[in-house]
A and B are shown apart, each in its own frame.
Chain A
Protein backbone atom coordinates (compact mmCIF):
# COMPACT_ATOMS: atom_id res chain seq x y z
CA UNK A 1 0.00 0.00 0.00
CA UNK A 2 1.19 3.52 -0.77
CA UNK A 3 2.32 5.65 2.12
CA UNK A 4 1.77 9.37 2.59
CA UNK A 5 2.85 11.28 -0.50
CA UNK A 6 3.84 14.93 -0.73
CA UNK A 7 4.56 17.26 -3.61
CA UNK A 8 6.75 18.89 -4.59
CA UNK A 9 9.85 17.44 -2.90
CA UNK A 10 11.84 20.65 -3.19
CA UNK A 11 10.83 24.23 -3.79
CA UNK A 12 12.71 27.51 -4.06
CA UNK A 13 10.80 30.78 -3.68
CA UNK A 14 11.64 34.41 -3.05
CA UNK A 15 10.43 36.61 -0.22
CA UNK A 16 6.87 37.82 -0.62
CA UNK A 17 5.78 34.99 -2.88
CA UNK A 18 3.07 32.45 -2.19
CA UNK A 19 3.47 28.66 -2.02
CA UNK A 20 1.11 25.66 -2.05
CA UNK A 21 2.20 22.28 -0.72
CA UNK A 22 0.18 19.13 -1.33
CA UNK A 23 -0.32 15.92 0.60
CA UNK A 24 -2.15 12.65 -0.06
CA UNK A 25 -2.81 10.50 3.01
CA UNK A 26 -2.63 6.74 3.33
CA UNK A 27 -5.75 5.15 1.87
CA UNK A 28 -8.47 4.99 4.54
CA UNK A 29 -6.93 7.69 6.72
CA UNK A 30 -9.23 10.63 7.39
CA UNK A 31 -6.95 12.90 9.39
CA UNK A 32 -4.12 14.97 7.97
CA UNK A 33 -1.70 17.12 9.95
CA UNK A 34 1.01 19.53 8.87
CA UNK A 35 4.30 20.20 10.65
CA UNK A 36 7.17 22.61 10.08
CA UNK A 37 10.68 21.45 10.87
CA UNK A 38 13.39 24.09 10.92
CA UNK A 39 16.96 22.81 10.62
CA UNK A 40 18.22 21.41 13.91
CA UNK A 41 14.85 21.36 15.67
CA UNK A 42 11.95 19.00 16.18
CA UNK A 43 8.81 19.40 14.04
CA UNK A 44 6.30 22.04 15.10
CA UNK A 45 2.57 21.43 14.64
CA UNK A 46 0.81 23.74 12.18
CA UNK A 47 -2.65 22.28 11.44
CA UNK A 48 -4.79 19.19 11.82
CA UNK A 49 -7.78 18.45 9.58
CA UNK A 50 -10.28 15.66 10.04
CA UNK A 51 -13.18 15.06 7.69
CA UNK A 52 -12.50 18.45 6.05
CA UNK A 53 -12.85 20.30 9.35
CA UNK A 54 -10.00 22.03 11.15
CA UNK A 55 -9.41 20.18 14.40
CA UNK A 56 -6.34 22.01 15.61
CA UNK A 57 -4.09 24.93 14.82
CA UNK A 58 -0.61 25.62 16.09
CA UNK A 59 1.02 28.93 16.91
CA UNK A 60 1.56 30.14 13.35
CA UNK A 61 0.57 33.45 11.74
CA UNK A 62 -2.47 33.85 9.52
CA UNK A 63 -0.19 33.69 6.49
CA UNK A 64 -0.45 29.94 6.94
CA UNK A 65 -3.69 28.28 5.87
CA UNK A 66 -4.76 24.80 4.92
CA UNK A 67 -7.71 22.82 3.71
CA UNK A 68 -8.75 19.20 3.25
CA UNK A 69 -10.60 17.90 0.24
CA UNK A 70 -13.40 15.27 0.02
CA UNK A 71 -10.80 12.63 -0.93
CA UNK A 72 -8.93 13.54 2.31
CA UNK A 73 -5.93 15.02 0.51
CA UNK A 74 -4.77 18.36 1.81
CA UNK A 75 -3.07 21.59 0.82
CA UNK A 76 -0.95 23.90 2.94
CA UNK A 77 -0.73 27.49 1.71
CA UNK A 78 1.77 30.07 2.88
CA UNK A 79 1.43 33.69 1.76
CA UNK A 80 3.95 36.53 1.83
CA UNK A 81 6.91 34.20 2.36
CA UNK A 82 9.64 35.22 4.78
CA UNK A 83 13.20 33.93 4.99
CA UNK A 84 12.23 32.25 8.26
CA UNK A 85 9.70 30.07 6.46
CA UNK A 86 12.57 28.05 5.01
CA UNK A 87 12.07 24.58 6.45
CA UNK A 88 11.05 21.00 5.84
CA UNK A 89 7.26 20.75 5.75
CA UNK A 90 5.97 17.38 6.83
CA UNK A 91 2.52 15.98 6.29
CA UNK A 92 1.21 13.12 8.42
CA UNK A 93 -1.97 11.07 8.28
CA UNK A 94 -3.83 8.89 10.76
CA UNK A 95 -7.05 6.93 10.68
CA UNK A 96 -9.21 8.93 13.08
CA UNK A 97 -6.99 11.73 14.37
CA UNK A 98 -7.25 10.93 18.05
CA UNK A 99 -4.44 10.87 20.57
CA UNK A 100 -3.96 7.09 20.51
CA UNK A 101 -3.68 6.98 16.72
CA UNK A 102 -0.28 6.63 15.11
CA UNK A 103 0.59 9.30 12.59
CA UNK A 104 2.51 8.25 9.50
CA UNK A 105 4.62 10.87 7.81
CA UNK A 106 5.37 11.65 4.21
CA UNK A 107 8.84 12.39 2.84
CA UNK A 108 8.37 16.13 3.27
CA UNK A 109 8.70 19.21 1.09
CA UNK A 110 11.90 21.16 1.52
CA UNK A 111 11.12 24.86 1.05
CA UNK A 112 13.89 27.40 0.57
CA UNK A 113 13.01 31.10 0.64
CA UNK A 114 15.62 33.45 -0.85
Chain B
Protein backbone atom coordinates (compact mmCIF):
# COMPACT_ATOMS: atom_id res chain seq x y z
CA UNK B 1 0.00 0.00 0.00
CA UNK B 2 0.90 3.64 -0.18
CA UNK B 3 1.89 5.33 3.04
CA UNK B 4 4.46 8.00 3.83
CA UNK B 5 5.24 8.88 7.43
CA UNK B 6 7.20 11.68 9.05
CA UNK B 7 7.77 12.96 12.54
CA UNK B 8 5.62 16.03 13.18
CA UNK B 9 7.99 18.54 14.78
CA UNK B 10 11.67 19.43 14.87
CA UNK B 11 13.24 22.33 16.72
CA UNK B 12 16.85 23.41 16.19
CA UNK B 13 19.04 26.41 16.90
CA UNK B 14 20.22 28.70 14.13
CA UNK B 15 23.49 27.45 12.66
CA UNK B 16 22.89 23.81 13.63
CA UNK B 17 22.12 21.05 11.16
CA UNK B 18 18.54 19.80 10.83
CA UNK B 19 17.68 16.26 9.87
CA UNK B 20 14.13 15.45 8.82
CA UNK B 21 13.23 11.79 8.40
CA UNK B 22 10.64 10.01 6.34
CA UNK B 23 9.61 6.39 5.82
CA UNK B 24 7.62 5.06 2.91
CA UNK B 25 6.11 1.69 2.21
CA UNK B 26 5.95 1.25 -1.55
CA UNK B 27 9.09 -0.30 -2.97
CA UNK B 28 8.08 0.64 -6.51
CA UNK B 29 8.67 4.34 -5.82
CA UNK B 30 10.59 5.89 -8.67
CA UNK B 31 11.29 9.38 -7.40
CA UNK B 32 11.17 10.75 -3.87
CA UNK B 33 10.80 14.43 -3.16
CA UNK B 34 11.14 17.03 -0.46
CA UNK B 35 8.74 19.97 -0.63
CA UNK B 36 8.68 23.05 1.59
CA UNK B 37 5.56 24.96 2.60
CA UNK B 38 5.74 28.35 4.27
CA UNK B 39 2.68 29.78 6.06
CA UNK B 40 -0.03 30.80 3.62
CA UNK B 41 1.96 29.64 0.61
CA UNK B 42 1.85 26.72 -1.79
CA UNK B 43 4.30 23.86 -1.86
CA UNK B 44 7.72 24.49 -3.33
CA UNK B 45 10.00 21.69 -4.50
CA UNK B 46 13.30 21.69 -2.61
CA UNK B 47 14.98 18.65 -4.07
CA UNK B 48 14.32 15.14 -5.32
CA UNK B 49 16.19 11.86 -5.62
CA UNK B 50 15.80 9.03 -8.10
CA UNK B 51 15.28 5.64 -6.53
CA UNK B 52 18.53 4.20 -7.90
CA UNK B 53 20.59 6.79 -6.03
CA UNK B 54 21.51 6.71 -2.36
CA UNK B 55 22.63 10.29 -1.88
CA UNK B 56 22.17 13.68 -3.47
CA UNK B 57 23.72 16.96 -2.39
CA UNK B 58 22.49 20.40 -3.41
CA UNK B 59 24.18 23.32 -1.63
CA UNK B 60 23.02 23.15 2.02
CA UNK B 61 20.72 20.20 1.35
CA UNK B 62 21.71 16.54 1.51
CA UNK B 63 19.24 13.78 0.73
CA UNK B 64 19.95 10.23 1.84
CA UNK B 65 17.94 7.26 0.58
CA UNK B 66 18.04 3.80 2.13
CA UNK B 67 15.94 1.64 -0.16
CA UNK B 68 16.31 -1.47 1.94
CA UNK B 69 14.75 0.25 4.96
CA UNK B 70 12.52 2.52 2.81
CA UNK B 71 13.93 5.51 4.66
CA UNK B 72 14.55 8.99 3.28
CA UNK B 73 16.16 11.89 5.09
CA UNK B 74 16.78 15.56 4.41
CA UNK B 75 19.70 17.27 6.08
CA UNK B 76 19.85 21.06 6.09
CA UNK B 77 23.28 22.39 6.98
CA UNK B 78 23.71 25.72 8.80
CA UNK B 79 19.97 26.05 9.40
CA UNK B 80 18.66 29.62 9.25
CA UNK B 81 15.51 31.18 10.68
CA UNK B 82 14.25 31.48 7.10
CA UNK B 83 14.24 27.68 6.91
CA UNK B 84 11.37 27.56 9.42
CA UNK B 85 8.52 25.91 7.52
CA UNK B 86 6.74 22.60 7.05
CA UNK B 87 8.67 20.01 5.06
CA UNK B 88 6.86 17.27 3.18
CA UNK B 89 8.31 14.04 1.95
CA UNK B 90 6.56 12.59 -1.13
CA UNK B 91 6.86 9.57 -3.39
CA UNK B 92 5.71 8.91 -6.89
CA UNK B 93 4.94 5.46 -8.11
CA UNK B 94 5.78 3.85 -11.40
CA UNK B 95 2.82 3.94 -13.77
CA UNK B 96 0.59 5.86 -11.39
CA UNK B 97 0.15 8.90 -13.60
CA UNK B 98 2.73 10.92 -11.77
CA UNK B 99 0.60 11.54 -8.70
CA UNK B 100 2.54 12.17 -5.52
CA UNK B 101 1.77 10.62 -2.16
CA UNK B 102 2.71 12.99 0.66
CA UNK B 103 3.61 12.51 4.28
CA UNK B 104 1.87 14.59 6.92
CA UNK B 105 4.74 17.05 7.11
CA UNK B 106 7.42 17.97 9.62
CA UNK B 107 7.23 21.44 11.13
CA UNK B 108 10.76 22.81 11.47
CA UNK B 109 11.23 25.59 14.01
CA UNK B 110 14.57 27.40 13.97
CA UNK B 111 15.37 29.39 17.09
CA UNK B 112 17.87 32.28 16.96
Are A and B interaction partners? no
Residues of A whose CB lies within 8 Å of any CB of B are none
